[in-house]
Structure 1
Amino acid sequence: MTENKRHPEWQYLDLMRHIWAHGDERMDRTGVGTRSVFGIMLRFDLADDRVPLLTTKRVYWKAAAREMLWFLTGSTNIRPLLKDGVKIWTDWPLKKYRQATGEKISQDDFEARIVDDSTFARNWGDLGPVYGKQWVDWPTYEYGPDGKYQKGAGINQVAQVVESLKTSPGSRRHIIEGWNVAELDRMALPPCHKTYQFHVAGEGGEARLNCLLYQRSCDVALGLPFNLMGAALLTRMMAAQTDLKPGELVWSGGDTHLYLNHTELVEAQLQREPAGEPRLALVRRPDTIFDYRFEDFEVRDYEPQGALKAPVAV
């Protein structure tokens, strides 16, 4: 990093500082309250294995990577995540279980039951048709012989985009969409990082793959660090599968906010300065984007400052 080049993480810290100082204070769905701004853009260069992993606090990139792989399976149940030690989705089904049964079960006990009991997991671990379901199995319906609608074949948007990047790189339709209006009320949480659009710049062996992620709602302190890692990883997998070089990750936020109960985290993080250049290596190229394993990813030169924790608003 040259002395006159600003560390890309300052974009994140500047955003956090701006929201905390100037955001519109408002009540939200969770009842916690936020400070919010609207319409934000951040840009990160993914060339040379760069990855937007925050260094001013530890980001648990392994959990973000496992979550992205889970999305690509189309699964909507938290059981596979919990088996891998990823607990970021537990709050929503746990809240539903407690409300439905009145049982004051601890999070640890609930997670253990999900892992140990497949029937319990099926009944209480499903999140509805979130993210991966829409990405790889968007539902369709068609007229049956009796003139009534019947379920048709699901649409694998991810596979379609991989193919379109190979066959029609100049297309403006390389889009993966999670916002299925007809199914929002069945989702534990409607998609926050809802739209991914890919763009090919340049030609031949120097062609680069860019990604723009539009996020309708963003918890900057807890969610955004995960979202940046996930989007960067998806872009890298897409680039590898289509013989393109990694380009730029452009992140765009709608309602971009900090929760009012994240004061300690925000104030502590804003006292820190970014340093270092983490790298993300893909050590294997499988036959398809759906065949990646966690062992195929290697993060190097990541030496973050200490972890900063805050409660998740559900």
Structure 2
Amino acid sequence: MATIGTPLAQVEKSEVRGPLERREERLAWLMLLPVLLALLALGVYPALSTLWFSFQQGGSFGMGTTNAGWANYVRLFHDEQFWSALRFSLLYSLITVAGQMICGTALALFANRRFAGRWLARAAILFPWAIPTATNSVIWAYMFNDQYGLINSLLEHLGLMNPAHPTVWLGSPQLATVLIYVLAVWKANSLVALLVLAGLQSISDEIYEAARVDGASRWQILWRITLPLLSPVLLVTLILRTIESLQAFDLISAFTNGGPGNATQNLGLYIYLQIQQFGDFGYGSTLATVLMAITLVFIVLYMRMLARSGMR
């Protein structure tokens, strides 16, 4: 409907589309159709299937199940191992994402400076990300092995450890947890650095030159110019890293497999054990539904942050 004061010619031009516009619109939808079908097949359908299976019980791997109502969710609230895995997942996400964002941003600021051999420094920063996660975890597991690991061997040669009483790195819940945090930060801060570095490249040098002419110090430029201009990139990176950390599996599985005991077991590993080891597809789907809901909550919160920051 035309608004008061709008010329009729402009209304007709904006509301009436010609054959060319309609053909272009049909072509656009046709080109988007494979993507939409892939999203339905790989995203929406599995999510709805998981939700449906969360109300089932019995059978094996989703076959021959019967309706369980809310029994799986009632079981979940009384499952101490679930609450332990949930606590570890949330702490893992909070600590590792914070470490990745801080270290990755610092590395990006360093790699963005002009100095001889900058290309070599950038390649070294990306090296941890180039190694597959499972390979990284296995290498670290061998390094921190208490019998033949590299770390204990170095400590022994430096006289910092008694060979008769080696440090059991992965046998201590506290040490294993700390090592997982360090490994996760070391592995993924490369990706954060890459994304932040791309954002730094988009900031014009004229802005920095004007700030230096006005007498701004390096810290003032960082806090008042660089970081505010990087806020959209940092928020998007924060979303991606949070989602990945909540769904982490291969890093923990290959490094500690949830041990010692269940000290480093997160929700992803607990879901895998319920489905693959115990064949409890219904309860595993219930756990997966809860994890999916938690992830969606974080996504909504971050999207509100993006909206408040003015991103479109």
TM category, shorter: under 0.3
Query: Which is strand-richer, 1 or 2?
Result: 1
Which is greater in Rg?
Answer: 2
Task: Give the TM-score, by structure 2 length.
Answer: 0.24
Task: Give the TM-score, by structure 1 length.
Answer: 0.24
